[in-house]
Amino acid sequence: MAATEALAPALPPALDRLTRSVLQAACDRDLAIATAESCTGGLLASLLTDVPGCSHAFDRGFVVYTEEAKRDLLGVPARLLEQHGAVSAAAAKAMAEGALARSKAQIAISVTGYAESPPGCEGEPGLVYLACVRHGVPAVVRRERLGDIGRAEVRLACLEAALEMLRDAVG
């Protein structure tokens, strides 16, 4: 299987291998993936569509940077966001469930967090929640406390965590 194309120069080789492995396993099992992304801004969807010959393993991606987008596109309840916040395990799970319900995919992955310290917000830099859901399987939620390592580094770490979760979900 070919390497990622557009992202290859910037992508660490280990992430490239993990991406190809996840996509090959999804293709072999005839599974499709959907993404729901906030702090990664569509980077995961871009990565999953960057490997030639694996397009059928990706159904669609939702970039939901705002709370309004999370509500409108994924059906995340406003009350959940008010009670738990947009960067929470509950929000990540609801985002993944919404992506699964609004796609033809069998697996959905979500990521929400703070890639850096938000201005005027007390969010913890590098705090990220990911959730992965698959039809008939309980949701898996993961919290990462990456610290104030920089926006690009947080986003790359999110890609790695999401791919690991997808690898486990694809089985």
8 versus 29: which is more confidently predicted? 29
Q: How far is CA 43 from CA 50, 51, 98, in A?
A: 10, 14, 19
Q: What is the pLDDT of residue 3?
A: 53
Tell me the DSSP string of 134-164: ETTEEEEEEEEE--S--HHHHHHHHHHHHHH
Q: Which domains, from first to last, does the chain contain?
A: 13-170 (3.90.950.20)
pTM of the full structure: 0.92
Quickly tell me which residue has 């947080």 as its tokens.
154
Q: What is the pLDDT of residue 105?
A: 98
Q: How many residues does the chain have?
A: 171
Q: What is the pLDDT of residue 6?
A: 52
Is the per-residue pLDDT at 163 higher than 90?
A: yes
3-class DSSP state of 131: strand
Q: What is the pLDDT of residue 118?
A: 63
> Comparing 28-37, 99-108, 111-120, 158-167, which segment has the lowest mean pLDDT?
111-120
119 versus 44: which is more confidently predicted? 44
Q: Average the pLDDT over 142-163 and give the result.
A: 94
Instruction: Take residue 34 and report the two structure tokens written for it.
Output: 């959907």
Percent of the chain residues topping a pLDDT of 90: 79
Average pLDDT value for the chain: 92
Q: Average the pLDDT over 125-147 and give the result.
A: 96
Rounded to the nearest 5 degrees, what angle is found at the Cα of 40, between the Cα atoms of 36 and 41? 75
- Residue-wise pLDDT tens digits, 48-93: 998 889 888 999 999 999 999 999 999 999 999 999 999 999 999 9
β pairing state of 33-37 and 107-113: parallel
